């Protein structure tokens, strides 16, 4: 009977401290913040995907032309 009472007491102590124990709270908050940043970035890429492709294409053309001019003048 003593073992049963001891287990009940330990169980109650664990349940009592569960709400006050904040170990791992920072990790959870950082994970939620990272998830928010990732979802926001995905949303921006989805909404502005066409303009990003256009900017990338124009930049690629400018760099390619500059490389060809540099190679031709050497």
- DSSP, residue by residue, 16-30: HHHTT--TTHHHHHH
Q: For residue 58, what are its two tokens?
A: 């124009």
Residue-wise pLDDT for 31-56, tens only, equals 999 999 999 999 988 888 888 889 99
The count of C-alpha atoms lying within 13 angstroms of the C-alpha of 72, restricted to the half-sphere facing its C-beta, is 6
Q: Where are the domains of the chain?
A: 45-74
Name the pLDDT band for 57 (thresholds 50, 70, 90). Answer: very high
Give the Å distances, CA to CA, from 68 to 48, 55, 58, 65. 30, 20, 15, 5
28, 57, 56, 52: which is closest to 41 by C-alpha?
52
Residue-wise pLDDT for 7-24, tens only, equals 666 666 655 555 566 677
User: What is the pTM for the complete model shown?
Assistant: 0.45
């Amino acid at each position: 009977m003593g073992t049963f009472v001891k287990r009940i007491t330990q169980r109650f102590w664990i349940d009592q401290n569960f709400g006050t124990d904040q170990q791992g709270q920072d990790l959870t908050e950082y994970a939620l913040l990272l998830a928010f940043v990732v979802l926001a970035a995905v949303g921006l890429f989805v909404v502005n995907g066409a303009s990003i492709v256009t900017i990338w294409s124009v930049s690629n053309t400018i760099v390619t032309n500059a490389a060809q001019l540099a190679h031709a003048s050497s």
